[in-house]
Amino acid sequence: MEKLQKDGYSAFLNEYFKENEELFSSLSKKQKPHTMIITCSDSRINPALLLNAKPGELFIARNIGNVVPPYLPAKGSTQAAIEYAVNALNIPKIVILGHSNCGACAHMYHQPTEDEPSLPHVDNWLEYIVPAKSAAMLELHADKHKNIFELTEKHNVVSSLQRLMEYPYIQSRLVKNEISLEGWWYDIGSGKVEMYNFNTRDFEPVIK
C-alpha cells in the first residue's frame, strides 16, 4: 500500500497529470465517454490499458464474471450503471468484456471442500452464469477437443449480451440504430482479443 501511495501516486501526479493538465481540466467539468465497458473485477483486466484509452473515454462497470443481470426483478449496481450510461450519458456503444482464466466461470465446475471458505453471495451471483455453463457443455458434447472453460467464458459474454437486449431502453435504441452492442473475449496470456460475430455466432480475432 505504501508503494502505491508514495511511488504510484507520486508518478501519476508529477508525470501523467502534468503532461495532461488540459485534459483533466476539461474532465473536471463534465464527462462524455464514447463507450461503456462491462467487465470483470479481476485485477488482471484493465480496459483502459488494453484499449490505450485516455481518462474520460470509457465508462466502466465491473463485477465478478462480467455479468449483465436480468432487467427484472432485481436492481443492483450493474443495472444502475447501465441505466445511467444509456439514459443520462447517451453512450452509443456497450462492450461486454470477458477474459481467459476467469475464476467466476471456472467456479461453476469446482467442487468445494470442507476447509474452503463459504461464499454465499458469490454462489448466488454466479447463478447468472448457469445458462453459459449449459451452452458450453452442449458445445463440448459436439466437439470434445474444445476447452470447457473458454467455452463457458465466451458463452457467458453472449448470455450477457442477450440479457442486455432485454432492457427496454436499450431495445428502443437498437431499433433506432442509436446504440451498438459488442461482446469481446480477451486472452490474458497472448494479449489477443476476439469479438462475437452476431452473424456467424462465433468469436473472431479483432486484428487478424
- Could you report how far apart the first and last alpha carbons of the chain are, in Å? 40
pLDDT tier at 114, thresholds 50, 70, 90 = confident
User: For the domain 33-205, what is the CATH code?
Assistant: 3.40.1050.10
Percent of the chain topping pLDDT 70: 97
Residue range 4-31: mean pLDDT, rounded: 91
**Residue 86 Cα distances to 82, 83, 91, 173, 202, angstroms:** 6, 5, 5, 9, 26
CA distance linking residue 205 with residue 208, whole number of Å: 6
Enumerate the CATH 3.40.1050.10 domain ranges in the chain, comma separated. Answer: 33-205
Sheet holding 93-99, edge to edge: 58-63, 35-40, 93-99, 180-186, 193-197, 202-205
Instruction: Kindly tell me if the per-residue pLDDT of 204 is higher than 90.
Output: yes
Q: Which three cell numbers stand for residue 190?
A: 497472448
**Residue pLDDT, tens place only, 124-177:** 999 999 999 999 999 998 888 889 999 999 999 999 999 999 999 999 999 999
**Residue pLDDT, tens place only, 178-192:** 999 999 999 999 999
